[in-house]
Amino acid sequence: MNRLRELREDRDLRQVDVSYYVGIDQKTLSNYETGKTNPDSQSLIKLADFYNVSIDYLVGRVQLDVYGETRKQTHEAIDGIVSLLEDMKKML
Protein backbone atom coordinates (compact mmCIF):
# COMPACT_ATOMS: atom_id res chain seq x y z
CA MET A 1 0.00 0.00 0.00
CA ASN A 2 2.13 2.81 -1.32
CA ARG A 3 -0.30 5.41 0.00
CA LEU A 4 0.56 4.49 3.58
CA ARG A 5 4.21 5.19 2.92
CA GLU A 6 3.42 8.41 1.05
CA LEU A 7 1.22 9.66 3.88
CA ARG A 8 3.88 8.84 6.48
CA GLU A 9 6.72 10.41 4.51
CA ASP A 10 4.66 13.51 3.67
CA ARG A 11 4.38 14.08 7.40
CA ASP A 12 8.07 13.35 8.11
CA LEU A 13 7.15 10.48 10.41
CA ARG A 14 9.02 7.29 11.15
CA GLN A 15 7.39 3.88 10.98
CA VAL A 16 8.08 3.40 14.67
CA ASP A 17 6.08 6.54 15.53
CA VAL A 18 3.08 5.58 13.42
CA SER A 19 3.10 1.97 14.61
CA TYR A 20 3.26 3.09 18.25
CA TYR A 21 0.29 5.44 17.94
CA VAL A 22 -1.80 3.06 15.82
CA GLY A 23 -0.94 0.07 18.00
CA ILE A 24 0.61 -2.22 15.43
CA ASP A 25 4.07 -3.71 15.18
CA GLN A 26 6.58 -1.68 13.16
CA LYS A 27 7.41 -4.71 10.99
CA THR A 28 3.69 -5.16 10.29
CA LEU A 29 3.46 -1.53 9.17
CA SER A 30 6.50 -2.05 6.97
CA ASN A 31 4.80 -5.07 5.38
CA TYR A 32 1.67 -3.00 4.76
CA GLU A 33 3.70 -0.23 3.14
CA THR A 34 5.58 -2.60 0.85
CA GLY A 35 2.49 -4.61 -0.07
CA LYS A 36 3.77 -7.85 1.45
CA THR A 37 0.59 -8.08 3.54
CA ASN A 38 -2.69 -6.20 3.62
CA PRO A 39 -4.05 -4.52 6.74
CA ASP A 40 -7.10 -6.01 8.41
CA SER A 41 -10.20 -3.87 8.79
CA GLN A 42 -9.31 -2.67 12.31
CA SER A 43 -5.83 -1.60 11.20
CA LEU A 44 -7.30 0.21 8.18
CA ILE A 45 -9.65 2.12 10.47
CA LYS A 46 -6.83 3.08 12.84
CA LEU A 47 -4.54 4.14 10.00
CA ALA A 48 -7.27 6.13 8.25
CA ASP A 49 -8.11 7.89 11.53
CA PHE A 50 -4.46 8.62 12.23
CA TYR A 51 -3.86 10.14 8.79
CA ASN A 52 -7.29 11.77 8.64
CA VAL A 53 -8.15 10.12 5.32
CA SER A 54 -10.84 7.69 4.26
CA ILE A 55 -10.35 3.96 4.02
CA ASP A 56 -11.32 4.32 0.36
CA TYR A 57 -8.31 6.56 -0.10
CA LEU A 58 -5.99 4.10 1.64
CA VAL A 59 -7.08 1.23 -0.59
CA GLY A 60 -6.88 3.32 -3.77
CA ARG A 61 -10.57 3.78 -4.54
CA VAL A 62 -10.53 7.60 -4.41
CA GLN A 63 -8.05 10.42 -4.71
CA LEU A 64 -7.06 12.51 -1.70
CA ASP A 65 -8.85 15.83 -1.52
CA VAL A 66 -7.52 17.01 1.83
CA TYR A 67 -5.41 20.06 1.11
CA GLY A 68 -4.97 23.59 2.32
CA GLU A 69 -5.89 24.44 5.88
CA THR A 70 -7.21 20.98 6.71
CA ARG A 71 -3.96 19.38 5.63
CA LYS A 72 -1.97 21.92 7.63
CA GLN A 73 -4.09 21.23 10.72
CA THR A 74 -3.60 17.51 10.27
CA HIS A 75 0.16 17.92 10.09
CA GLU A 76 0.16 20.09 13.20
CA ALA A 77 -1.97 17.57 15.10
CA ILE A 78 0.31 14.69 14.11
CA ASP A 79 3.39 16.71 15.06
CA GLY A 80 1.79 17.36 18.45
CA ILE A 81 1.04 13.67 18.94
CA VAL A 82 4.57 12.67 18.01
CA SER A 83 5.96 15.27 20.41
CA LEU A 84 3.76 13.97 23.21
CA LEU A 85 4.86 10.40 22.49
CA GLU A 86 8.50 11.43 22.64
CA ASP A 87 7.89 13.17 25.97
CA MET A 88 6.15 10.07 27.30
CA LYS A 89 9.08 7.88 26.25
CA LYS A 90 11.47 10.18 28.15
CA MET A 91 9.37 9.85 31.29
CA LEU A 92 9.57 6.06 31.24
Locate the domains of the chain by residue range: 2-91
Alpha carbons 90 and 2: distance in angstroms, whole number: 32
- CB proximity list for 87: less than 8 A, separation 6 or greater: none
Is pTM, for the whole model, over 0.85? no
pLDDT in tens, 10-63: 899 999 999 999 999 999 999 999 999 999 999 999 999 999 888 988 888 876
User: 57-86 burial by CB neighbour count: b if 16+ within 10 A, else e?
Assistant: bbeeeeeeeeeeeeeeebeeebeeebeeee
Burial class (CB in 10 A: 0-12, 13-18, 19+), 24: buried
Domain 2-91: assigned CATH number: 1.10.260.40
